[in-house]
Amino acid sequence: MIELKNIEKYYANKGVKSYILRHVTASIKQGEFVSIMGPSGAGKSTLLNILGMLEEPTYGQYEFMGEDITSLNERKRIELYRNHIGFVFQAYHLIDEMTVAENIEAPLLYKKVSGAERKSRVADVLDRFNMVAKKDLFPNQLSGGQQQLVGIARALVAQPSVILADEPTGNLQSAQALQIMDLFKKLNQEEGITIIQVTHSEVNAGYGSRILHLLDGVIKEDVTVEQTV
């Protein structure tokens, strides 16, 4: 599903190139649950941003579902966002002016889903996440964990094939974090959604099926996790 070949990313500053990523080559298949780990400054977030097409690599080739992303235009990219990619952020990034239900509904609006279907899908997701009672609250009226649930619900509602999560539990207490990770695992196993997350936590990484260890922009290790949890 995702093919990275020789991805490089550097910033040139006064002739000095400072590399963020070097020779990153990886292949991620449909249905995998990948955790990207590494110390601060290793390039985890940049790699995720490149995967999410928020940033462009300086060199290298990136194929998403068989399409070469590096030559993709804006319109096509937005199409991918609408249909195949869901983002989950560390800081949730919900829209403050929208209620829970509206936040979840927003991607469907952009996808031009009909009104009736939008309603049923939002209701469905709310139900699954046990948030029906909170649907008319605004983000600032929710706890962090609840906000992240809304964030995931929003990422899910458009039925993407891959979810990209940048430290989804970084701002949460451990109990809430576990809940979120359980949810990810369930989504991965029951619905076959590909999940790629950036995380610092070994525990969280343990929920996934594969870990990419990044150090100074280079993939040091690529291990498959024994499903013990």
Partner 1 sequence: MFRLNLKIALRNLWKNKSFTLINIGGLSIGLASCMILLLYVKYEWGYDKQFTNYKNTYIIYTNHDTGTDKTSYAWTPALLAPELKAKIPGVKYASHSSYPEAHLIGNGENSFKTNAVFADNDFLKMLDYKFLQGNPDQALQKVNTVILTATLAKRLFGNEDPINRSVKLDNQDVLKVEAVIADLPKNSSIQFEYLLPWVLFENKNPWMKDAGWQAMICLTMLQLDDEKTFGAASQLIKSIYERSDPKSGNEALLHPLSKWHLYADFQNGKSVGGKISQVKTFFLLAFCILLIACVNFMNLSTAKSEKRAKEVGVRKVIGSTRKMLIAQFIVESFLLTILGLILAFILIEASIPYFNQLLNTDLIIDYTDWTSWTALMVLTLFTGLIAGSYPAFFLSSFEPVKVLKGFGKAGGSSLPVRKILVVFQFVFAACLIICTTVIYQQINYIKDKPIGYNKDNLMEINLVGALQGEGKFKLLKEQLLKTGSVTSVASFSRSINRMGQRAFNISWPGKPKNGDILFNYRFAGYDFIKTIDAGIIMGRDFSANFNDEKNVLLNQTAVKVMGLKHPVGSMIKWGDGNVTIVGVVKDFVIESPFEKTLPMIIGHNDNNSAVAVLRLSPDQNLSNSIAQIDAVVNGINPGFPVERKFVNDNFEEKFNNEKQLGIVANWFGGFAIFISCLGLLGLALYMAEQRKKEISIRKVLGASNINILSLLNKDFIKLVAIANLIAFPAAYVIVSKWLSNYDFRVPITLIPFCAALLISLVIASLTVSIQSVKVAKSNPVDALKYE
Q: Which spans of this chain sit near partner 1 (rule: CB under 8 A)?
A: 45, 49, 52, 54-55, 74-75, 78, 81-82, 87, 89, 93-98, 102, 105-107, 109-111, 154, 158
Question: Which residue, 197, 131, 98, 117, is CA-closest to 159?
Answer: 117
3-state secondary structure 149-189: HHHHHHHHHCCCCEEEEECCCCCCCHHHHHHHHHHHHHHHH
- Please give the backbone phi and psi of residue 57, each rounded to the nearest 5 degrees, phi first: -70, 155
Nearer to partner 1, 98 or 215 (CB): 98
CB of 54 vs partner 1, minimal distance in Å: 4
**Which CA distances in Å does 179 have to 77, 88, 148, 173?**
32, 15, 11, 10
CB of 34 vs partner 1, minimal distance in Å: 20
Q: What distance in Å separates the CA atoms of residue 55 and residue 149, rounded to the nearest whole number? A: 26
Nearer to partner 1, 67 or 222 (CB): 67
The one-letter code for the residue type at 98 is M
For residue 78, how many other CB atoms are within 10 A of its CB?
13
CB of 189 vs partner 1, minimal distance in Å: 25
Q: What distance in Å separates the CA atoms of residue 164 and residue 50, rounded to the nearest whole number? A: 11
CB of 224 vs partner 1, minimal distance in Å: 30
Nearer to partner 1, 3 or 55 (CB): 55
Nearer to partner 1, 71 or 73 (CB): 73
CB of 199 vs partner 1, minimal distance in Å: 17
Nearer to partner 1, 125 or 211 (CB): 125
Nearer to partner 1, 118 or 210 (CB): 118
CB of 139 vs partner 1, minimal distance in Å: 11
